[in-house]
């Protein structure tokens, strides 16, 4: 009898423990999307979707960063429908390879890659790289584009003013840690970190083999861009900061450069500006030359006629 009661209580204990375990497991496997705050999740097994058009739901994998193409579609959709994004209009300024077009409504492959031709729902189309950034002049719907991989991304940012100047080695370690823990980027892809302490400027080069298709540098660059410029795309809105020797260092003014396996084919605006400048200078030089020539000639003529006049005088 006593033995049986013992057995019974131990069974009950087991059941209670099992119940507790199930509860804990259920709570921790809460259906939500870690890597995308706008995603909605539902069901068992937990599936998450992102609204990318009216009634168009894109299934996303929240165990990794969401492809940039899906994110841009979602942003366009939200911007059109007055949902909060605060992401339109943040055009980067300078030079080539910077995404000067800003956001558009992209066409994505099923796996989230950008289609090589993009038209933004218009008749005007252009070629993009694997980061979805325009790499050709704009053309019509018949434009021919091939898929081109962005194998090198340069992230240029400033750190916010802090008391102690960070040193390069500490900064590099901090960057490696946060890029790995926040975006899952392995250290091997950080090819170089440069630091100008006076300008507070940090340059991070992310590079992979041109043939490497296992990592998509555009995703983490996009997440980082949003982290620094606007708000995190993650569900948890922890601020992005680099831990430098125990001090959190925040970033600002981020600029992203893209380098493709093949050079872009667009007429670079800077180049056009340069060419115009050269043409203007050449024209000016020619004009000045002509003027000088004109005055020299006139002076010579004047001298000549004066001399002639003098000659005439002496003759008479
Ligand atoms: C979005 O908001 C603007 C003003 O904030 C308003 O003019 C516009 O009609 C709104 N559009 C939609 C689709 O609600
Ligand atoms: C795409 O179209 C939207 C309007 O639908 C426009 O605001 C945006 O500037 C366009 N983007 C590009 C890169 O053409």
The CATH number of the domain holding residue 254 is 3.30.70
State the residue range of the domain holding 251: 150-268
- Domain presence at residue 219: yes
| CA 34–ligand 1 middle distance (angstroms) | 30
Give SS3 for 176: helix
DSSP state of 240: P
Give the DSSP H/E element, type plus range, for residue 24: helix 2-28
Ligand 1 proximal residues by C-beta, below 6 Å: 81-82
Which amino acids bring their CB within 6 angstroms of ligand 2?
Answer: 101, 104, 120
- Tell me what pLDDT residue 26 has: 47
Question: In terms of Cα–Cα distance, which of 120, 144, 121, 124 is closest to 132?
Answer: 120
Asked if residue 159 is part of any domain, the answer here is yes
| Closest approach atom of ligand 1 to CA 81 | 13
In a domain, 169, yes or no: yes
Atom 5, ligand 1: which residue's CA is nearest? 82
Distance from residue 79's CA to the centre of ligand 1 (Å):
10
Residue 183 belongs to some domain of the structure: yes
pLDDT in tens, the chain (316 residues): 455 555 556 666 665 555 444 544 544 457 899 999 999 999 989 999 999 999 999 999 999 999 999 999 999 998 888 776 543 333 332 333 567 778 899 999 999 999 999 999 999 999 999 999 999 999 999 999 999 999 999 999 999 999 888 999 999 999 999 999 999 999 999 999 999 998 899 999 999 999 999 999 999 999 999 999 999 999 999 999 999 989 999 999 999 999 999 989 877 555 555 566 676 777 788 888 888 888 888 888 887 776 666 666 666 5
Distance 239 CA to ligand 1 centre (A): 30
Q: How many domains does the chain have?
A: 1
Ligand 1 pocket test target in 76, 80, 82 with most atoms within 8 Å of CB? 82
* pLDDT number for residue 286: 85
Q: 185 lies in a domain?
A: yes
Q: End-to-end CA distance of the chain: give it in Å, rounded.
A: 161
Surface-to-core class of residue 144, CB atoms within 10 Å of its CB (0-12 exposed, 13-18 middle, 19+ buried): exposed
Q: Report pLDDT for 83.
A: 73
Is 64 a member of any domain? no
**Rounded distance from Cα 123 to ligand 1 centre (Å):** 25
At 98 the pLDDT is: 61
pLDDT in tens, 44-95: 899 999 999 999 999 999 999 999 999 999 999 988 887 765 433 333 323 3
Residue 290 lies in a domain: no
pTM value?
A: 0.71
Q: Which ligand is nearest to the CA of 78?
A: 1
Edge-to-edge strands of the sheet including 201-207? 190-196, 201-207, 150-159, 247-260, 241-244
> Is residue 121 included in any domain, yes or no?
no
Q: What pLDDT does residue 182 have?
A: 97
Residues facing residue 190 across a β-bridge: 206
pLDDT score for 8:
52
């Amino acid at each position: 009898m006593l033995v049986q009661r013992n057995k019974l209580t131990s069974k009950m204990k087991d059941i209670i423990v099992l119940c507790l375990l199930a509860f804990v497991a259920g709570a921790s496997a809460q259906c939500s999307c870690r890597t995308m705050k706008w995603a909605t999740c539902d069901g068992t097994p937990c599936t998450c979707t992102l609204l990318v058009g009216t009634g168009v739901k894109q299934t996303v994998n929240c165990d990794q960063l969401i492809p940039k193409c899906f994110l841009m579609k979602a942003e366009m959709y939200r911007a059109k429908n007055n949902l909060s994004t605060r992401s339109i209009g943040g055009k980067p300024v300078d030079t080539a390879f910077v995404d000067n077009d800003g956001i558009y409504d992209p066409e994505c492959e099923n796996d989230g890659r950008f289609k090589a031709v993009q038209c933004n729902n218009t008749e005007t189309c252009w070629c993009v790289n694997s980061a979805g950034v325009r790499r050709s002049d704009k053309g019509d719907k018949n434009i021919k584009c091939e898929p081109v991989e962005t194998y090198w991304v340069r992230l240029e940012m400033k750190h916010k003013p802090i008391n102690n100047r960070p040193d390069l080695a500490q900064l590099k370690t901090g960057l490696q840690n946060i890029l790995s823990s926040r975006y899952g980027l392995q250290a091997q892809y950080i090819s170089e970190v440069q630091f100008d302490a006076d300008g507070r400027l940090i340059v991070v080069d992310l590079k992979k083999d041109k043939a490497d298709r296992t990592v998509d540098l555009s995703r983490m660059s996009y997440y980082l861009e949003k982290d620094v410029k606007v708000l995190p795309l993650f569900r948890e809105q922890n601020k992005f900061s680099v831990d430098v020797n125990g001090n959190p260092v925040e970033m600002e003014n981020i600029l992203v450069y893209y380098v493709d396996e093949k050079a872009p084919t667009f007429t670079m605006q800077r180049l056009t500006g340069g060419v115009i400048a050269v043409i203007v200078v050449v024209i000016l030089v020619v004009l000045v030359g002509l003027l000088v020539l004109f005055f020299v000639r006139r002076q010579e003529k004047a001298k000549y006629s004066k001399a002639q006049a003098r000659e005439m005088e002496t003759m008479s």
